[in-house]
Amino acid sequence: MTAQVIDGKAFAARVREQVAAHVARLREENGIQPGLAVVLVGEDPASQVYVRNKGTQTHDAGMASFEHKLPADTSETDLLALVRALNADPAVHGILVQLPLPKHLNAELIINTIDPAKDVDGFHISNVGLLGTGQKSMVPCTPLGCLMMLRDHHGSLAGMNAVVVGRSNIVGKPMAQLLLGDSCTVTIAHSRTRDLAAVCRGADILVAAVGRAEMITGDMVKPGATVIDVGINRIERDGKIRLVGDVDYASAAAVAGAITPVPGGVGPMTIACLLANTLTACCRANGLPEPEGLTA
Ligand code: GUN
């Protein structure tokens, strides 16, 4: 079998179009423009690229984009004051503090100071608790993007065996909660799991989010399974730097029913879902109906 490729780039473009259309209606009919504030502390090159892309795509979707670039030695007091000012600003519906933060800053404290209703990353402890108890929340962007692709591919996920490899707060745990919410039978596997290959072979849906290049190989995939690769790893091969996932694509694609490539799979969905979350936060803040198909 050669797996169907799930085209995350094309899917993300459709999500962005949906968001832009809804934003245009909000502006015309309600005179409201959703706004996203992104806070970057320091000069981490990867973070600078992310933040630039977020700003461009926010703008292209018709939203207001507020960028706050602060020096690496910004004090916790000053950063907390900025977050509180953004919480109080009615033009800002979503706040994202780019991670990682410099070591002298307490990331948990800063994230938990964001108004949960504006926490478009879904990292605030209130949103984590709401998701865990099946209540309406802001959902982390990468797992939300994975869920959208899975729903689009399968329709209902009810009763499927889902294995999530990786237990991070940003991807693994919320991904498992979302799959449970869609009535999958969910296993979270990790570096200490015994016979990981056998556990993975039980999966109708296999989500790889471990951060180890090409760790999931074809012999770990059930024939016909859907494989979602969240990994983005830079490796050197044949003297060149290449971007690869947590899944060994060639061997997995020979066995799977469907698979997301790297690049062009999950990656583009993350910013698309950030825009979707900002729109959702704006609609909720104004007591308006939420966009359909763009939430969990
Ligand atoms: N750094 C890398 N990805 C992300 C993300 O999705 N959110 C935040 N806040 N920081 C990140």
pLDDT in tens, 228-282: 999 999 999 999 999 999 999 999 999 999 999 999 999 999 999 999 999 999 9
Q: What is the pLDDT, as a whole number, of residue 160?
A: 98
pLDDT in tens, 188-205: 999 999 999 999 999 999
Q: 11 C-alpha vs ligand 1 centroid, how far in Å?
A: 20
Q: 98 C-alpha vs ligand 1 centroid, how far in Å?
A: 5
Q: 81 C-alpha vs ligand 1 centroid, how far in Å?
A: 21
Q: What is the pLDDT, as a whole number, of residue 243?
A: 96
- CA 85 – CA 154 distance, rounded (Å): 43
Does 141-268 match 30-116 at the fold level? yes
pLDDT in tens, 26-41: 999 999 999 999 999 9
- Single out the catalytic residue among 18, 57, 98, 177: 98
Which homologous superfamily does the CATH classification assign to the domain defined by 30-116?
Leucine Dehydrogenase, chain A, domain 1 (3.40.50.10860)
Going by alpha carbons, the residue nearest to atom 9 of ligand 1 is 98
Please give, one letter per residue, the 3-state secondary structure of the chain.
CCCEECCHHHHHHHHHHHHHHHHHHHHHHHCCCCEEEEEEECCCHHHHHHHHHHHHHHHHCCCEEEEEEECCCCCHHHHHHHHHHHHHCCCCCEEEECCCCCCCCCHHHHHCCCCHHHECCCCCHHHHHHHHCCCCCCCCHHHHHHHHHHHHHHCCCCCCEEEEECCCCCCHHHHHHHHHHCCCEEEEECCCCCCHHHHHHCCCEEEECCCCCCCECHHHCCCCCEEEECCCEEEEECCEEEEECCECHHHHHCCCCEECCCCCCCHHHHHHHHHHHHHHHHHHHCCCCCCCCCCC
> What is the position in ligand 1's atom list of the atom closest to the CA of 140?
6
Question: Which residues are near ligand 1 (CB < 6 Å)?
Answer: 50, 96-99, 121, 141, 270
Q: What is the pLDDT, as a whole number, of residue 14?
A: 98
pLDDT in tens, 119-143: 999 999 999 999 999 999 999 999 9
Q: What is the pLDDT, as a whole number, of residue 266?
A: 98
Q: What is the pLDDT, as a whole number, of residue 38?
A: 98
Structure tokens belonging to residue 187 = 């296993």
Task: Tell me if residue 121 is catalytic.
Answer: yes
Q: What is the pLDDT, as a whole number, of residue 81?
A: 98
Q: What is the pLDDT, as a whole number, of residue 91?
A: 98
- CA 108 – CA 97 distance, rounded (Å): 11
pLDDT band at 25 (very low <50, low <70, confident <90, very high): very high
pLDDT band at 24 (very low <50, low <70, confident <90, very high): very high
Q: 222 C-alpha vs ligand 1 centroid, how far in Å?
A: 31
Per-domain boundaries in the chain: 30-116, 141-268
Task: Tell me if residue 119 is catalytic.
Answer: no
- CA 23 – CA 288 distance, rounded (Å): 12
Going by alpha carbons, the residue nearest to atom 1 of ligand 1 is 99
CB within 8 A of 56, min separation 6: which ones?
Answer: none
Q: What is the pLDDT, as a whole number, of residue 158?
A: 98
> What is the position in ligand 1's atom list of the atom closest to the CA of 270?
6
Q: What is the pLDDT, as a whole number, of residue 106?
A: 98
Task: Tell me if residue 103 is catalytic.
Answer: no
Q: Does pLDDT of 1 surpass 80? A: no
Percentage of the chain modeled with pLDDT above 70: 100
Residue with tokens 């770990």: 220
Structure tokens belonging to residue 241 = 């730097």
Q: Does pLDDT of 80 surpass 90? A: yes
> What is the position in ligand 1's atom list of the atom closest to the CA of 97?
9
Q: What is the pLDDT, as a whole number, of residue 261?
A: 98
Average pLDDT, the chain: 97
Q: What is the pLDDT, as a whole number, of residue 293?
A: 95
Q: Does pLDDT of 90 surpass 80? A: yes
Q: What is the pLDDT, as a whole number, of residue 229?
A: 98
CATH for the 141-268 domain, from 3.90.1170.50, 3.30.1360.120, 1.20.120.80, 3.40.50.720: 3.40.50.720
Q: What is the pLDDT, as a whole number, of residue 126?
A: 98
Q: What is the pLDDT, as a whole number, of residue 154?
A: 98
